[in-house]
Structure 1
Amino acid sequence: MIEPRQPRFQWGQRVRAAIDLVNDGSHPKAPPDAVLARIGDLGEIVQVGMHTDSNTPVYLVEFEGERVVGCLEEELVVS
Structure 2
Amino acid sequence: MRVEDLDIGDIVYAATTIIDDGSMPEGMEGEILAEAGTRGVITMIGHVEEQPERSVFLVRFEDKEMNLGNPIGCWVDDLMVEPKLIN
Q: TM-score, normalised by structure 1?
A: 0.84
Of 15, 19, 31, the residue aligned with 2:16 is 19
**Local SS of the residue matching 2:37:** coil
Question: After the TM superposition, which parts of structure 1 deviate over 4 Å for at least 4 consecutive aligned residues?
Answer: none
Q: TM-score, normalised by structure 2?
A: 0.77
* TM superposition shift of 1:32: 0.7
* TM superposition shift of 1:77: 0.4
RMSD value, Cα: 1.2
Q: In the alignment, which residue of structure 1 is the partner of 2:77?
A: 74
* TM superposition shift of 1:46: 0.2
**Matched positions, count:** 73
**Local SS of the residue matching 2:77:** helix
Between the aligned partners of 2:7 and 2:25, the Cα distance in structure 1 is 25
**Unmatched 5+ residue regions in structure 2?**
64-68, 83-87
